[in-house]
Amino acid sequence: MIRLGENRYGKSRVRLVRVKRAGDRHDLDEWTVEVLLGGDFSSCFAEGDNSKILPTDTMKNTVYSLARTSSARCIEDFAKELTAFFVNRNPQVTSAEVNISESPWERMVCGGNAQGTAFIQSSRELQTAKVSGGRDGAIEVVAGLDDLLILKTANSAFTGYIKDSLTTLPETRDRLFGTAVSAHWTYASANLPFPALRATVREHLLDAFAGHKSESVQHTLYAMAERVLDKVPEVKDIHLTMPNKHCLLVDLSRFGQDNPNEIFVPIDEPHGYIEARVGRE
């Protein structure tokens, strides 16, 4: 017997720009929204019966319509509104998940003055929010960031690891350590000052990375997670992904030159990959 297992559907990459105008000072947000719904949709899959299906086109319309009336100032709050809207309006839906990522527009600064109506997207780092909710009204908020590119040129070692017949990597007490952090942390509550907390978490991540005496990527990843959990009680747990973006020391002795840890080749592939979730007992 064939059986439908876990399934969900929705709309991805619903892009939205919102401009709030207060005289000649405007606020600009660019958000990309994804809506994913779960429920008992087996008759749609097995029989082609669409009577319980909210079209994904309507989800898209909902994003725009709610954006007009919403007072949300951050992606976490807008994701909460959307999640609640879909659950409340659709009894056939048992769970809704809304993912939003924010493109980082900032005010342009000209001659020292922050402009009211001109913006620049200086960063590639994405701020994200994932809100999930079910019929019981419980809501979970996960905030995050992707593609935070950081690198340290001191206080990074890698020694004491397993050596065997396939080992060629030399030990080092002084290497470059570059990574593209993805961090996603779950809040203990759904009603929090999200923008301030986001800024705080991000600062602790950077600060822990910069100051750590690193024995490995794992060691530093854990120190970053630990710092956030220590300093931000609103965070329940945090998941970090930190690829090791290797910088290889160039052998210049072939040209009669030394290379005192100065000239490196950064490579994209292969790359190390480290991920862990760190929580509270």
Residue 271 among the catalytic residues:
no
Among 40, 73, 154, 199, binds its own copies (CB under 8 A): 154
Is 126 a binding residue for its own copies by CB under 8 A? The answer is: no
Is 141 a binding residue for its own copies by CB under 8 A? The answer is: no
Residues 230 to 259: which contact its own copies by CB under 8 A? 230, 237, 243-244, 247, 250, 252, 254-257, 259
* Amino acid sitting at position 126: L
**For residues 129 and 158, what is the distance between their CA atoms, to the nearest angstrom?**
34
Is 45 a binding residue for its own copies by CB under 8 A? The answer is: yes
**For residues 242 and 183, what is the distance between their CA atoms, to the nearest angstrom?**
9
Among 40, 73, 88, 122, binds its own copies (CB under 8 A): 122
Catalytic residue among 32, 56, 94, 200: 56
Among 71, 111, 137, 138, binds its own copies (CB under 8 A): 111
Is 214 a binding residue for its own copies by CB under 8 A? The answer is: yes
Residue 80 among the catalytic residues:
no
Site size for its own copies (CB under 8 A): 139
* Amino acid sitting at position 246: H
> Of 117 and 189, which has the nearer Cβ to its own copies?
117
Contacts of 275 (CB under 8 A, 6+ apart): 239, 240, 241, 242
> Of 191 and 257, which has the nearer Cβ to its own copies?
257
> What are the angstrom distances between the C-alpha of 151 and each of 154, 260, 272, 277?
9, 18, 15, 22
Beta bridge partners of 163: none
Is 21 a binding residue for its own copies by CB under 8 A? The answer is: yes
Residue 56 among the catalytic residues:
yes
Contacts of 142 (CB under 8 A, 6+ apart): 129, 130, 131, 132, 184, 185, 186, 187
Is 217 a binding residue for its own copies by CB under 8 A? The answer is: yes
The distance from CA 114 to its chain's CA centroid, rounded to whole angstroms, is 27
Q: How many C-beta atoms surround the C-beta of residue 107 within 10 A? A: 17
Catalytic positions, written as ranges: 11, 56, 246
